[in-house]
Homo-oligomer: A and B are copies of this chain.
Amino acid sequence: MAILDATRSELASRGWDTLSFERIAAAAGVGKQTLYRWWPTKAALVSEMVTAGGILPVGPVAVTGDVRADVTAWMLAVGRVHDDPDASAVFQAVVAAVAEDADLSAHYDDRVTTVARARLAERLQQAVDAGALPSDLRVDTVTQVFLAMVLWCLVTRRPLDDALVADLVTTMLPVPLRGRRA
C-alpha cells in the first residue's frame, strides 16, 4: 500500500511529531481527504502501519532443548533492530506516539505487545512444565521484564547486546533447585 509505505518512510526520516498528513498524501500521490477518510489521526495511521506492516521483528520463539538459548536468541533478534537506523527511527517514533496517545497505546498493546508476550510466555511455561525452569517462576512478570528491557534499550539508546541479554537470562531464568539435585 502506497500510503502505508509513505507513512513509514516519512516516519523514519522526520520522526513522529513532524509527521504530516500533507506530506504523506503528497508522497503517496493521494488527496488529503482520502487519508482523513480512513485514518482520523496520525496515530491511527501509524497504528495500521505497525499492525499491517510486520514492522516488529517479533517472530516466534524457537523451541530447542535449551530455553535459555531460545530466549537469548529471540531477544538478540529483537535487539538487532538497533543496527538498522531506519527501523530504529520508526520504532522510536512509535514509542513516542504510544507514550503520548492512550488510544494508540491500547491498540499497540493488543496487536503487538500481547502477541510478543504470549509467545514468550508460552515458551517459558513449556520450560517450567518440563522442569527446566523453577515451578514458582513468575512467568508473566518475567515476560514483562524482557519486553520492558527492549523498550528501555530503545528509549535510552542502549544496545541490547550479548552481555546484557546474557545477564538478563541468568538473572530472570534461574536453574531450578530440583534441577541441581537431579
Contacts and interface: CB of A to CB of B under 8 A. Distances in A.
B157 A105 contact: yes
Interface residues of A, number: 39
Tell me the interface secondary structure of chain A in the complex. helix
B155 A167 contact: no
A63 interface: no
A69 interface: no
Contact of A105 (B16, B151, B156): B156
A104 to B, nearest CB: 11
A100 B105 contact: no
A168 B141 contact: yes
Nearest to A145: B145
Interface stretch (A2-10, A31-39, A72-80, A89-97): A89-97
Interface of A: 15-17, 92-93, 95-100, 102, 105-106, 109, 113, 137-138, 140-142, 144-145, 147-149, 151-152, 154-157, 164, 167-168, 170-172, 174
12 contacts: A15-B100, A16-B96, A17-B100, A96-B96, A96-B99, A98-B155, A99-B99, A148-B148, A151-B151, A151-B155, A152-B152, A174-B174
